[in-house]
């Protein structure tokens, strides 16, 4: 999954200019939103056997996305207070999102093989 690695690497890059952290994280979140939407489409095409398990994973991925999105929104309004802490929390959420997404994607692939 080079795209997931790319997103994780992008989130982990050292910040030369702290003002770009929100733009980078917003961009990463939008890429995840698109990938989650693609997975929902794959869910609709999945066989019934794997559908429930994939739905649970997609729901978790969507919840993690919403949590990250909410945290980013909150951070924009109070960025100067704890940017380093917020950035680390968002990076962890992006890593969690990547892991859950990979799990959901694996279930879709297994369902297609059956």
Q: Cβ(32)–Cβ(96) under 8 Å?
A: no
CA 112, distance to chain mean position in Å, is 23
Share of the chain above pLDDT 90, in %: 21
Rounded to whole angstroms, how far apart are CA atoms 104 and 53?
Answer: 8
Q: Cβ(57)–Cβ(103) under 8 Å?
A: yes
Rounded to whole angstroms, how far apart are CA atoms 90 and 63?
Answer: 14
Instruction: Give the chain's domains with CATH numbers.
Output: 2-11+19-113 (1.20.120.330)
CB atoms within 10 A of CB 36: 18
Average per-residue pLDDT in the chain? 79
**pLDDT band at 5; cut points 50, 70, 90:** very low
Of 2-16, 27-41, 65-79, 90-104, the least confident = 2-16
Share of the chain above pLDDT 70, in %: 75
Rounded to whole angstroms, how far apart are CA atoms 62 and 15?
Answer: 27
pTM for the model: 0.54
DSSP 20: G
**pLDDT band at 1; cut points 50, 70, 90:** very low
């Amino acid at each position: 999954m080079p795209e997931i690695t790319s997103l994780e690497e992008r989130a982990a890059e050292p910040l030369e200019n702290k003002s770009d952290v929100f733009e980078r994280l917003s961009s990463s979140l939008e890429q995840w939103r698109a990938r989650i939407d693609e997975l929902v489409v794959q869910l609709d095409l999945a066989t019934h056997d794997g559908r429930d398990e994939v739905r649970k994973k997609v729901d978790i991925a969507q919840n993690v996305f919403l949590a990250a999105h909410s945290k980013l929104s909150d951070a924009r309004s109070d960025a100067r207070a704890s940017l380093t802490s917020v950035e680390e929390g968002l990076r962890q959420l992006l890593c969690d999102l990547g892991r859950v997404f990979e799990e959901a994607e694996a279930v879709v692939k297994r369902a297609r093989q059956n």
